[in-house]
Structure 1
């Protein structure tokens, strides 16, 4: 691998993939929607920016020429949980966009790729350790989850039609990390915590992972993984109380102790949805978010046996991840807390 094309390059995962590639002296073309934002993200790093959008793959397809690897990290996600309905954009970006990107990459001569999937495509029983074989039914998926399931199906269909193509799939958990310029939902959650805007301890549990570790999983997947295989990079299983305690420890800010019951969240979400319909502004808690919390309770503990065995990847301590993330936000004037 000498020249990689990275989609979603200014995003939390994408920017860390770019940095990990550059450290290995691999040249990078970065798909970005804003060159100005990309320059803010990467500074003077030797990255070639390609301005474009996954909704119009044909417009940037020519830039894939000369590359020998593809890292597809771009996806539509965050706004789909901030009120309203977003199915068409989810489908056009995550499903159709993936299909067209793979064809464009193949036509440009690329034969090795990593597709960023999601733990959303998996589901087990409550309190069960979930591995890569436990696929979620399309009937049990919300709109975002369904878009990720269908995008994986497009990857498998493409592989069946192009046996000389290598594509591995990496499935991240809830990512935190430096360079979260967006910010993502996790970054906003951290900022809301240090800004003391969270109403209390929310129900549910999560798999918390450093985006830098997911980036390492991606590079390991394309170099040591097997085509057509899923590799979990979900990280550390934690309930919300433990996440609050970890954030309190690294920030010095007292964590809220009051528990917020689900019925109260449902009421809050309905009020927020009404606000969204009137203003079209994103909201903190949507009905989709609450449904997801209910659905996924006890279903966020994932096995990394396969990734550890085949990719030899590890995860850094959560405290290190949260400290580095908060330091990045402070150094970049997102918060003075």
Structure 2
């Protein structure tokens, strides 16, 4: 790899949670950072960073070409997370077509590293133990359009690495939490609601978690150590909603949330979904897919990332405290 200090790097999706933290860590590492943003993007997460801004869109190859020109590495963190859309066309355009455009331009311009922010939603289920990168996707019958779009994107990415020589590394990232969550993300918003006493109930589920700063660290380590065409699980502690939100509530002197059995949540979601469809309501958050995904992901084995990337994530209690302190300071109740 060339002397990275001599060339800029590009971060796409830099207004988002993963992208902004990746850009921040790159700046702190002394890199020359360029970001691709839509003119409509909320720039709160990067407005204090000394980065070069290129306005454009991953659906516009010309703007991608301008942004990527002369860059040694691309950190691709564009994702359309709107799993609740009734019309799922944007999910495929933004999550799949945009990535293909970026990969084509990266190959055209000779980019040396392409770090792709993927999702734990592309991993297969393992009923007999922790999930690893080697388990093929095996739950297409339960996959929502959002998951299918993320899976298609990752499959195209891996095929570009195999067949076209894209120097790419994929990171399968779990639910992210931490400070500087300006939007906030849905997960982060629920964390703050639990901590501040606004939320009273949570589902009886558990999920893998990761500190957003550790996700960004994994991206930089993948650029340095990742093997081309490989994917790495970027997930840390598997924790129940009860324990996760109990820690958060305790930090602000509030009682733990009451837990709703998953069977009741499924029934509520099924009823609500039927009513929404009957009255023609679109883009609703409460759905059977959402309830299913809230508890679909189990313990994940991050040993490959620890060994090959030299990645060492922090304890979840530290993440929760830092996130809650930041939300409190910024009064980021959604």
TM-score (norm 2): 0.89
Select which of 17, 26, 34 maps to 2:22: 17
| Cα deviation, residue 179, structure 1 | 1.7
Q: Could you tell me which residue of structure 2 aligns to residue 66 of structure 1?
A: 70
Q: Rate the CA distance shift 1:303–1:52 in 2: closer, same or farther, 3 A.
A: same
| Cα deviation, residue 36, structure 1 | 6.8
Other structure's SS at 1:54 match: coil
In the TM superposition, what are the counterparts of 1:280-295 in structure 2 within 5 Å?
Answer: 280=282, 283=285, 285-293=286-294
Q: Could you tell me which residue of structure 1 aligns to residue 132 of structure 2?
A: 131
Q: Does 1:4 align with 2:9?
A: yes
Q: Could you tell me which residue of structure 2 aligns to residue 31 of structure 1?
A: 36
| Cα deviation, residue 199, structure 1 | 4.7
Structure with higher RCO (Cα < 8 A, 6+ apart): 1
Q: Rate the CA distance shift 1:36–1:244 in 2: closer, same or farther, 3 A.
A: closer
200-209 or 40-49: which moved more?
Answer: 40-49
Q: Rate the CA distance shift 1:125–1:63 in 2: closer, same or farther, 3 A.
A: closer
In the TM superposition, what are the counterparts of 1:295-314 in structure 2 within 5 Å?
Answer: 296=296, 299-314=297-312
Asked if the contact 1:270/1:286 (under 8 Å) is kept, the reply is: no
Asked if the contact 1:250/1:322 (under 8 Å) is kept, the reply is: no
Asked if the contact 2:210/2:237 (under 8 Å) is kept, the reply is: yes
Asked if the contact 2:247/2:317 (under 8 Å) is kept, the reply is: yes
| Cα deviation, residue 279, structure 1 | 6.1
Other structure's SS at 2:60 match: helix
Q: CA RMSD in A?
A: 2.3
- The alignment of Structure 1 onto Structure 2 pairs a total of residues equal to 327
250-259 or 218-227: which moved more?
Answer: 250-259
Asked if the contact 2:124/2:131 (under 8 Å) is kept, the reply is: yes
Other structure's SS at 2:116 match: strand
Q: Rate the CA distance shift 1:118–1:257 in 2: closer, same or farther, 3 A.
A: same
Q: Deviations over 1:19-63 (max 9, x none)?
A: 11111111111122247722x322332111122233334434222
Q: Which runs of 5+ in 2 are unaligned?
A: none
> What is the alpha-carbon distance in structure 1 between the residues aligned to residue 290 and residue 226 of structure 2?
33
Runs of 4+ in 1 over 4 A off after TM superposition: 272-282
Q: Deviations over 1:106-135 (max 9, x none)?
A: 223312111111111112233621111012
Q: Rate the CA distance shift 1:152–1:219 in 2: closer, same or farther, 3 A.
A: same
208-217 or 106-115: which moved more?
Answer: 106-115
Q: Could you tell me which residue of structure 1 aligns to residue 217 of structure 2?
A: 216
TM-score (norm 1): 0.89
> What is the alpha-carbon distance in structure 1 between the residues aligned to residue 290 and residue 241 of structure 2?
15
> What is the alpha-carbon distance in structure 2 between the residues aligned to residue 196 and residue 274 of structure 1?
30
Other structure's SS at 1:75 match: coil
Q: Could you tell me which residue of structure 2 aligns to residue 80 of structure 1?
A: 83
Asked if the contact 1:270/1:287 (under 8 Å) is kept, the reply is: no
